[in-house]
Structure 1
């Protein structure tokens, strides 16, 4: 049972879903979000009008509820529009919002080393042939920021078949893909047997590639285990330890640079911990190899900034934060490059270790997940 109360001015109304707290809506918002065929294209839902086409003085003169439908009359257009009430409730903006800086959406779950036995993993062949299995795997990748696929073909270029599950390859100066194995005179430390600190890839790009795929073709060298760290959880720990340090890394930009290839000079300026205007944690950028001189922090804040930067790195390096696993031939992992840092242990020159990597975009994962009926942000809220 729904009840609606119209404000005398006609500029707002309150909708009460059954005994629950009323949700308020503005007339102009309701008119802008109408789903009648004159406002939205029936085929794709895109708006057919601009805000300029809606009178600024729009008000509601009549509001009636019939079952799950809300019927409104708008003036000065004298237009009658019906709304699906469950849709309105799912999209209500009159709610108490979590506004502690660094909050994450309900569909995001942060983790630490205790996650080692819960790593999202699925069979490559199964997710290719079963849309429900693909949906469930993508849902976990979206929730936790990474996931593994096993039992895939150990063949050159198999990583492209992984990307085809949800999107498209993002080509860079490294090409459509890159090789990860020991090289003589490498252009990037990733191509040596050295261990690498947990990092996000390509922070010097704007925008950064938001998804990375690493696919194993050979793995007989000793060591070289892959490791992931949840950057969101690291940011939460920093905030818990020192709100001041968390704040300084969110308020000031770091600078990142890469110029290791002929004809390539890539630079970006972004915070190491990035928040949306309402305080939502939306990205982490951390890569000691690519950090340039930091020049966007005021003199009086620089010591605090470096203390925060140091502690953030210590948290990232803490074994209590890492999940380690070994990739065997035919296995890969997909990682959200705006959230999860990845690394590898050092490996010896004996035997072989050959991985192929490429980049893609997170919107492809989220789009495919939504198309398959996976979790949505509105439903989670």
Structure 2
């Protein structure tokens, strides 16, 4: 491994397994020294305006594990870890495929039925390694199940405490899912529900949902989850123009099922980042409002694509089914994984409590647990 720099000092090249280039201004902005970054929290202490706009590399020296760079005109020397540079390299080939996914994501279908990410409530409470593994699986697969929890109202909040914080909505901090005589939402009936993402009419949507079972003596009512990312990628493989039209144009969603509430949003069914990464799916037939953002000459194509996506979502080959018993719960990434339930009978009881949280808490817990494990191993 060695390092070279261009004649003008605009960038350096790290010659490792691959050649990786780093601009002078990028390196200076990302310096890890105590004058640039706060030692306690790693936050940047300076703004870009504090760095000369004519910053260049005056000299560079490489050791086995560190690269030492001196910047002009400041004449400031900063050391960079080779490992850190490789981990943060941006001189890589851009992804050309639309709908690509991060390596942290694993798509799935009914084949995951025998390997549902599951952990026991007591173990999550007592064993950091179990919690770290379960949170990692939830982040990777978009859902996870918990068994052996307390059978008491509000126990779902203890589930959220494992990884984040409750997000309160017009439904309150939590909501009860059971039959009501005059329901404000079809979720509160015994009807079967098509797989869907929750609350697409919110902006932003709640990114994590928790459902916790307290009673389950009614026949039916099995829970079902479907990987939305797997579904839209299947759609893309079958008919690329279907994928494109659902990603290109916005749908509209609305909920006004109770007094004083009128929630609306305008988002595509398939959400892509500017570089083509697949980052979200919104699908909820109950809450779809009149679509008015698709041009006349594309509307029939949009509806054909919407229909086909629904057919793929309904395909049993895409679903994982499980029954929640009292004291069991599941957590779902509401930006990706659709959930549903089978119809259940009017005899017996079925009572679930649900609440929302946010994915940033889940990811934060995952990353913090990973870093603490690394530090303990060093």
**Alignment partner of 1:312: what SS?**
helix
Which residue does the alignment assign to 1:274?
271
Match of 2:119 among 108, 119, 122: 122
**Aligned length, in residue pairs:** 373
Distance 1:360 1:10 in 2: 47
Which residue does the alignment assign to 1:9?
8
Corresponding position: 1:294 with 2:291: yes
Which residue does the alignment assign to 2:129?
132
Which residue does the alignment assign to 1:248?
245
Corresponding position: 1:95 with 2:70: no
| Comparing 20-29 and 330-339, the one that deviates more | 20-29
1:99 Cα deviation (Å)?
Answer: 2.5
Which residue does the alignment assign to 1:202?
199
Distance 1:361 1:374 in 2: 21
Distance 1:181 1:74 in 2: 65
1:97 Cα deviation (Å)?
Answer: 3.2
Distance 2:209 2:96 in 1: 30
Query: Gaps spanning 5+ residues in structure 2: where?
Result: 373-378
**Alignment partner of 1:341: what SS?**
strand
Which residue does the alignment assign to 1:321?
318
Which residue does the alignment assign to 1:156?
153
Which residue does the alignment assign to 1:71?
68
**Alignment partner of 1:56: what SS?**
coil
1:56 Cα deviation (Å)?
Answer: 1.3
1:374 Cα deviation (Å)?
Answer: 6.6
Which residue does the alignment assign to 2:31?
34
Which residue does the alignment assign to 2:139?
142
Q: Give the conservation status (yes or no) of the 8 Å contact 2:57–2:70.
A: yes
1:98 Cα deviation (Å)?
Answer: 2.7
Distance 1:363 1:16 in 2: 35
1:37 Cα deviation (Å)?
Answer: 0.5
Q: Give the conservation status (yes or no) of the 8 Å contact 1:39–1:48.
A: yes
Runs of 4+ in 1 over 6 A off after TM superposition: none
**Alignment partner of 1:307: what SS?**
helix
Deviation digits for residues 131-168 of structure 1 (CA, Å, limit 9, x no counterpart): 11000000000000000000001111000000001110
Over the aligned positions, Cα root-mean-square deviation in angstroms equals 1.1
1:61 Cα deviation (Å)?
Answer: 1.2
Distance 1:313 1:5 in 2: 54
Which residue does the alignment assign to 2:167?
170
Which residue does the alignment assign to 1:310?
307
Which residue does the alignment assign to 2:337?
340
Distance 1:250 1:243 in 2: 11
Deviation digits for residues 104-153 of structure 1 (CA, Å, limit 9, x no counterpart): 00110000011100100000000111111000000000000000000001
**Alignment partner of 1:333: what SS?**
strand
Q: Give the conservation status (yes or no) of the 8 Å contact 2:212–2:327.
A: yes
Deviation digits for residues 2-50 of structure 1 (CA, Å, limit 9, x no counterpart): 2101011100111012xx1110111111011000111000000000011
Distance 1:362 1:121 in 2: 18
Corresponding position: 1:362 with 2:323: no
**Alignment partner of 1:256: what SS?**
strand
Which residue does the alignment assign to 1:212?
209
Q: Give the conservation status (yes or no) of the 8 Å contact 1:135–1:374.
A: no
Match of 1:181 among 154, 159, 178: 178
Q: Give the conservation status (yes or no) of the 8 Å contact 1:123–1:151.
A: yes
Distance 2:253 2:234 in 1: 24
Q: Give the conservation status (yes or no) of the 8 Å contact 2:95–2:275.
A: no
Which residue does the alignment assign to 2:187?
190
Q: Give the conservation status (yes or no) of the 8 Å contact 2:175–2:354.
A: yes
